[in-house]
């Protein structure tokens, strides 16, 4: 997988066992709770052995789970700015903190090499197609307009039928960018499979490290998505991590091509 988590090189990630990848994904999804639990508790909650935890920690560059916890705790504590809003209602403080963590954790997860590779793909592409559905369409539309302003031949598609048709027509020098929060949107996955068969470059911006789109894509940029939603009855989760990644890509592209 072309992805970095906590500055883990892609080659290291590929060498992890299935259970170690599962554990890494579990830690990723529950990162805010990790500094406060023991290795035994993590073993119980993630349903893995303590030996698997120790092996994973060593593979990703830590002496053990305790040193990993301290590292994560230091990062989280460095983000504490809640004192500035002490007089705001506690629940609103939580909402502010949720957004702050999504932004800061997403920025920390982005690897410079992956950004550089994405910039190069955009620069070399004769034409760029951006595909998105639902709330992700707003981010896709912004990226499309800005790339057009930068002189790139770029178009965005959100209709399932059109996405399927176009996915069979892209050429080798074209680039496909997918924007999907969960990375499992059926028509996007189908298109990405077609592109992989035809050896067409693909970039996925998502918040799901182990999603189908992330596994299929040549380049994957993954953001941090908090576990809590203030709209639990509807599929309207925040695309803030995807927005952060897209803006970094565009800003970096301008800097590199100025």
User: Is residue 123 domain-shared with residue 225, that is, in the same domain?
Assistant: yes
Does residue 67 fall inside a structural domain? yes
> Can you tell me whether residue 87 is helix, strand or coil?
coil
User: Is residue 140 domain-shared with residue 212, that is, in the same domain?
Assistant: yes
Does residue 102 fall inside a structural domain? no
d(CA 47, CA 41): 10
User: Is residue 130 domain-shared with residue 227, that is, in the same domain?
Assistant: yes
Does residue 99 fall inside a structural domain? no
Contacts of 51 (CB under 8 A, 6+ apart): none
Does residue 96 fall inside a structural domain? no
Please identify which residue in the block is written with the tokens 């910039």.
119
User: Is residue 128 domain-shared with residue 60, that is, in the same domain?
Assistant: no
User: Is residue 54 domain-shared with residue 138, that is, in the same domain?
Assistant: no
Residue 47: left (phi > 0), alpha (psi -120 to 50), or beta?
left
140 to 94, 123, 146, 155, 222: CA distances (angstroms) = 29, 18, 10, 9, 16
Does residue 93 fall inside a structural domain? no
Can you give the CATH number for the domain in which 202 is found? Answer: 3.40.50.10490
The reported pLDDT for the residue numbered 89 is 64
pLDDT digits (tens, 9 = 90+) for 184-234: 999 999 999 999 998 999 999 999 888 999 999 999 999 888 765 655 554
What range does the domain containing 51 cover?
Answer: 1-78
User: Is residue 1 domain-shared with residue 57, that is, in the same domain?
Assistant: yes
d(CA 45, CA 25): 13
Contacts of 232 (CB under 8 A, 6+ apart): none
102 close to 76: Cβ distance less than 8 angstroms: no
d(CA 221, CA 247): 12
Contacts of 30 (CB under 8 A, 6+ apart): 45, 227
pLDDT digits (tens, 9 = 90+) for 14-35: 788 999 989 988 988 888 888 8
User: Is residue 136 domain-shared with residue 37, that is, in the same domain?
Assistant: no
pLDDT digits (tens, 9 = 90+) for 152-168: 999 999 999 999 998 88
Does residue 95 fall inside a structural domain? no
- The number of folded domains in the chain is 2
**Torsional sign, CA 246, 160, 220, 168:** negative
- For the record, the structure tokens of 33 come out as 């709770």
Can you give the CATH number for the domain in which 21 is found? Answer: 1.10.10.10
Per the document, the length of the chain is 258
Mean pLDDT, to the nearest integer, of 42-54? 92
> Considering 19, 52, 78, which residue would you say is the last residue of a domain?
78
Does residue 101 fall inside a structural domain? no
């Amino acid at each position: 997988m072309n992805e970095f988590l906590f500055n883990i090189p892609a080659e290291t990630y590929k060498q992890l066992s299935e259970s170690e990848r599962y554990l890494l994904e579990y830690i990723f999804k529950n990162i805010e709770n990790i500094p406060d639990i023991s290795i035994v508790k993590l073993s119980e909650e993630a349903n893995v052995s303590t030996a698997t935890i120790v092996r994973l920690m060593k593979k990703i560059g830590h002496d053990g789970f305790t040193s990993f916890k301290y590292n994560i705790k230091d990062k989280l504590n460095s983000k504490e700015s809640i004192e500035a809003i002490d007089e705001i209602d506690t629940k609103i403080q939580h909402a502010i903190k949720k957004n702050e963590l999504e932004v800061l954790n997403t920025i920390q997860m982005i690897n410079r090499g992956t950004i550089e590779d994405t910039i190069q793909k955009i620069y070399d592409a004769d034409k760029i197609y951006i595909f998105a559905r639902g709330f992700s369409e707003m981010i896709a539309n912004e990226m499309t307009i800005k790339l057009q302003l930068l002189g790139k031949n770029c178009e965005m598609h959100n209709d399932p039928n059109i996405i399927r048709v176009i996915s069979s027509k892209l050429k080798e020098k074209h680039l496909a960018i997918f924007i999907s929060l969960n990375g499992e949107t059926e028509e996007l996955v189908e298109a990405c499979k077609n592109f992989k068969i035809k050896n067409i470059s693909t970039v996925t911006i998502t918040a799901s490290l182990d999603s189908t789109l992330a596994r299929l894509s040549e380049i994957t940029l993954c953001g941090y998505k908090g576990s809590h939603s203030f709209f639990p009855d509807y599929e309207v989760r925040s695309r803030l991590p995807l927005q952060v990644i897209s803006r970094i890509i565009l800003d970096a592209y301008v800097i590199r091509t100025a």
